[in-house]
Amino acid sequence: MGKAMIDSGRLIPRNGAVHPVRRDMEYKTSVLRSPDFPLLSLESTKTEETGPVFGHTSLGPLDNDLILNWSKGLASAIGERILLHGRVIDENGRSVPKALIEIWQANAGGRYRHVEDTYFAPLDDNFGGCGRTLTDAEGRYQFMTIKPGAYPWPNRGNDWRPAHIHFSIFGHSFGQRLITQMYFEGDPLIDRCPIAATIKDRSQLERLVAPLDFLAARPLDFLAYRFDIVLRGRRQTMFENKTEGL
Residues marked active site are found at 112, 151, 161, 164, 166
Q: How far apart are CA 192 and CA 160, in angstroms?
A: 8
Q: Is the dihedral of CA 175, 143, 110, 158 positive or negative?
A: positive
Nearest residue to 149 (alpha-carbon basis) of 128, 165, 170, 132: 165
Q: How far apart are CA 111 and CA 126, in angstroms?
A: 13
Partners of 147 in the β-ladder: none
Cβ 175 vs Cβ 235: under 8 Å: yes
State the virtual CA torsion across 149, 220, 77, 63 in degrees, nearest 10. Answer: -100
Provide the 3-class DSSP secondary structure of residue 87. strand
81: CB partners within 8 A, 6+ apart: 67, 144, 145, 146, 147, 221, 222, 223
Count other C-beta atoms under 10 Å from residue 201's C-beta.
Answer: 12
Cβ 189 vs Cβ 195: under 8 Å: no
State the virtual CA torsion across 130, 150, 28, 179 in degrees, nearest 10. Answer: 30
